[in-house]
């Protein structure tokens, strides 16, 4: 068979433009449904197509450009309206099975790793499910809830607002978490079990983090900076002293492993590191949604970590709760005696593990609350950053193009999720209406359960999206060579990241079936328009504006897949409320001259109803029902039936991913706590969740 092969490997099951019935009674949630559609046409480049085929694809793209566009007018820095109503987007909002069931049984060879994605048991979990299990264990908290009146009043205010907002009864706004917030006890926990929301009988579906039982261990805070919750760790080498974070050598030596060490020497040896949330200061000093936040706050904390002289695990050295400390003894004395903080410049002390035990636990909670929110911002900002790629893709890549089959599964649900989760006023049916940033699925959640308003969350997310670079942020740190992290023995976020070479080989094998030379790449005007529009009109920083070789094409396509899978990952750290609650519930940060109690620590954690809502809501971000469920390397049944040559390359790709997954699992057996975020078997193939 020649490179072009014959299109008639399989007959098309339906006529042009026809699709199977897409109704699916088992569909639930975003990305959980499935649909049967016709086979994709046999791929060919425009300059190799017949005149009739060229005319068909030109006509297809003319309509696509009318249906898909870039709109930065409503929210500068983000594509908002985009192509939410386009046919291509709607058709790619579910798992698309290709061809008839009979054809798939006979011809399809996509290895599904033992999973049937149409199984109703694989649908999205009910976000309210944990509340019922929690009630079964803690029903007495409902009976003794002294704030039940507040809950009823809050629910009534939601109904009142809907009746008086002038939008009419057909536009009723109720955030997904409102029912939890208004029904669960709005009281502070008094023991750890009351902050454990994992259903005991559903441990496979709700697995606890490996460090859940050790959450108070100082090493956990250091570990999660390396086994990071998002693909963008914030830990950096600490090479010079900061005026606003004055850790002394005496403070450094308080930790047992550093008793005979020297801070300046450790810095010179590359053993000291810092996590500084200074970029969030401007957002944290904005007014909080006081009517719903129950006193929630965020603080732009700073933390120091270090590796001991003889090596070993990274250790937590010191935490400063804010960006500012008193600059003089007079200012310190005034601050200690005052009952108020400057909202623009809140002051704090530096605390170490040897300070008052519960004050130190509170400092860790404060730091980790900002850590948790930073992970969520990273995750959603990634959605915002890559959205223009999907818009440009549909405007310039027709169904006959080789990139369509290769990349389309990795774009599933991206625009729809951005639309519903970040931008859309969920109380209306008008896709042109944006601006109620307290009402998007996720912006509304942040407005309800964190110290930020939905507007603050949106602004922080869009700002972060503008900081990414297409190449730099999809290039793993080469830990085999000397680098700024060489002193760290195990850095799972980087050490486990072996995906780009595997993806690149798969893309090279696939595209090699359709591109004969670099000249084919240069002549592919659909491809060139896709690149130009993505970089210029889509404003995707770092994206190539043009391609001149097959190597450049392979790199670009591989990085798109990497962004949609590896860079979309998010660990379930938020599920461990005891470690990383989504806000610190006090205006007052811990000090180094106070004595606190365990109840003081409970009091800076969220009320039970808020903590439970965060636990349930976090499932929108991180839930995968099972390993290899619509994961990287998975394609719907029949996806490549139009060209059987691809299956041998797919088998090689899946084997390489499985081997990488096994290596990570074996490595986790030797770690104190395992880390799964870089496992191919748990990475989604697209931003469908």
DSSP per position, 517-552 = SHHHHHH-HHHHHHHHHHHTTS--TT--S---SHHH
Distance CA(458)–CA(436), nearest Å, equals 11
Q: Which of 75-84, 179-188, 310-319 has the lowest mean pLDDT?
A: 75-84
Q: Which residue has the higher pLDDT, 400 or 624?
A: 400
pLDDT in tens, 497-542: 999 999 999 999 999 999 999 999 999 999 999 999 999 999 999 9
All residues at 6 or more sequence positions from 110 whose CB lies less than 8 Å from its CB, including other chains: 634, 635, 636, 637, 638, 639, 640, 647, 650
Residue 311 CA to its chain's centroid (Å): 32
Tell whether the model's pLDDT for residue 284 goes beyond 60.
yes
Mean pLDDT computed over 481-494 = 95
Nearest Cα to Cα of residue 376 among 618, 68, 201, 137: 618
Q: Are strands 236-237 and 272-276 parallel, antiparallel or unpaired?
A: antiparallel
pLDDT band (50, 70, 90) for residue 290: low
Q: CA-CA distance, 134 to 156, in Å (whole number)?
A: 24
> What is the mean pLDDT of the segment spanning 12-21?
32
Q: What is the largest CA-CA distance in the chain?
A: 85
305 close to 317: Cβ distance less than 8 angstroms: yes
* Inter-residue contact 276 to 370 (CB < 8 Å): no
Average pLDDT over residues 404-430: 77
Q: What is the CA radius of gyration of the chain?
A: 26
pTM of the model: 0.92
- Alpha-carbon distance 231 to 385, whole Å? 14
d(CA 222, CA 208): 19
640 falls in which pLDDT band (50, 70, 90)?
A: very high
Per-residue model confidence (pLDDT) at position 78: 85
Which pLDDT score, from 0 to 100, does residue 246 have?
95
Residues 411, 686 contacting (CB under 8 angstroms): yes
Tens digit of pLDDT for each residue in 108-165?
999 878 887 776 555 545 778 888 899 999 988 887 776 666 666 666 666 666 556 5
8 A C-beta contact, residue 436 and residue 451 = no
When pLDDT is averaged across residues 333-338 and rounded to a whole number, the result is 85
pLDDT digit string, tens, across residues 436-454: 555 667 787 888 889 998 8
Confidence of residue 629 (pLDDT cuts 50, 70, 90): confident
* pLDDT tens figures, 247-273: 999 999 999 999 999 999 999 999 999
For the stretch 533-580, pLDDT in tens is 999 999 999 999 999 999 999 999 999 999 999 999 998 887 888 999
For the chain, give me the number of helices (H) and strands (E)?
26, 7
**Is the pLDDT assigned to residue 27 strictly greater than 70?**
no
Calculate mean pLDDT across residues 62-66.
92
Contacts of 679 (CB under 8 A, 6+ apart): 496, 627, 661, 664, 665
């Amino acid at each position: 068979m020649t490179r072009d092969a014959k299109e008639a490997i399989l007959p098309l099951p339906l006529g042009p433009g026809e699709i199977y019935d897409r109704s699916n009674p088992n569909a639930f949630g975003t990305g959980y449904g499935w649909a049967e559609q016709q086979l994709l046409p046999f791929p060919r480049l425009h300059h190799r197509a017949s005149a009739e085929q060229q005319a068909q694809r030109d006509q297809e793209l003319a309509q696509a450009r009318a249906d898909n566009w870039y709109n930065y007018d409503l929210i500068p820095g983000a594509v908002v309206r985009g192509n939410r109503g386009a046919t291509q987007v709607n058709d790619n909002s579910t798992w698309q099975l290709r061809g008839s069931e009979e054809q798939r049984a006979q011809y399809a060879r996509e290895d599904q790793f033992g999973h049937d994605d149409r199984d109703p048991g694989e649908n999205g979990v009910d976000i309210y499910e944990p509340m019922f299990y929690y009630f079964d264990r803690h029903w007495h908290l409902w009976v003794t809830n002294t704030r039940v009146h507040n809950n009823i009043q809050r629910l009534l205010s939601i109904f009142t607002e809907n009746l008086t907002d002038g939008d009419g009864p057909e536009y009723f706004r109720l955030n997904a978490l409102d029912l939890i917030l208004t029904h669960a006890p709005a009281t502070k926990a008094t023991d750890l079990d009351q902050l454990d929301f994992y259903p005991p009988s559903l441990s496979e579906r709700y697995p606890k983090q490996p460090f859940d039982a050790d959450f108070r261990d100082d090493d956990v805070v250091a570990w999660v900076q390396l086994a990071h919750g998002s693909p963008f760790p914030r830990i950096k080498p600490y090479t010079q002293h900061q005026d606003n974070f004055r850790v002394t050598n005496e403070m450094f030596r308080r930790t047992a492993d550093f008793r005979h060490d020297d801070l300046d020497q450790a810095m010179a040896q590359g053993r000291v590191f810092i996590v500084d949330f200074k970029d969030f200061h401007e957002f944290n000093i904005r007014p909080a949604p006081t009517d719903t936040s129950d006193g929630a706050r965020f603080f732009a904390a700073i933390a120091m970590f270090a590796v001991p002289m003889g090596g070993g695990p990274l250790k937590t050295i010191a935490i400063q709760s804010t960006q500012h400390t008193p600059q003089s003894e007079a200012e310190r004395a005034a601050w200690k005696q005052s009952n108020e903080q400057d909202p623009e410049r809140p002051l704090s002390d530096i605390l170490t593990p040897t300070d008052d035990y519960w004050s130190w636990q509170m400092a860790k909670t404060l730091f980790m609350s900002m850590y948790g929110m930073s992970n969520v911002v990273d995750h959603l900002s990634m959605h915002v950053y890559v959205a223009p790629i999907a818009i440009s893709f549909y405007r310039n890549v027709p169904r006959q193009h080789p990139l369509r089959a290769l990349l389309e599964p990795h774009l599933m649900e991206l625009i729809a999720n951005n639309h519903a989760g970040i931008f859309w006023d969920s109380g209306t049916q008008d896709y042109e209406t944006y601006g109620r940033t307290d009402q998007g699925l996720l912006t509304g959640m942040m407005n309800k359960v964190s110290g930020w308003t939905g507007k603050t969350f949106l602004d922080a997310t869009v700002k972060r999206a503008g900081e990414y670079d297409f190449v730099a942020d999809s290039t793993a740190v080469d830990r085999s060579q000397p680098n700024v992290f060489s002193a760290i023995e195990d850095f799972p976020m980087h050490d486990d990241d072996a995906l780009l070479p595997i993806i690149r080989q798969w893309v090279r094998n696939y595209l090699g079936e359709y591109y004969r030379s670099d000249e084919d790449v240069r002549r592919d005007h659909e491809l060139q328009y896709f690149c130009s529009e993505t970089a210029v009109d889509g404003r995707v920083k770092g994206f190539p504006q043009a391609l001149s070789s097959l190597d450049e094409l392979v790199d670009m396509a591989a990085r798109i897949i990497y962004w949609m899978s590896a860079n979309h990952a998010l660990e379930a750290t938020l599920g461990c409320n005891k470690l990383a609650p989504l806000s610190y519930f006090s205006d007052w940060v811990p000090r180094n001259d106070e004595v606190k109690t365990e109840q003081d620590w409970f009091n800076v954690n969220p009320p039970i109803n808020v903590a439970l809502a965060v636990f349930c809501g976090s499932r929108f971000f991180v839930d995968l029902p099972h390993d290899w469920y619509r994961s990287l390397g998975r394609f719907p049944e029949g996806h490549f039936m139009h060209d059987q040559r691809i299956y041998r390359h797919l088998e090689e790709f899946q084997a390489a991913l499985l081997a990488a997954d096994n290596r990570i699992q074996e490595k986790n057996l030797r770690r104190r706590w395992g880390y799964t975020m870089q496992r191919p078997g748990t990475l989604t193939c697209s931003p469908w969740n």
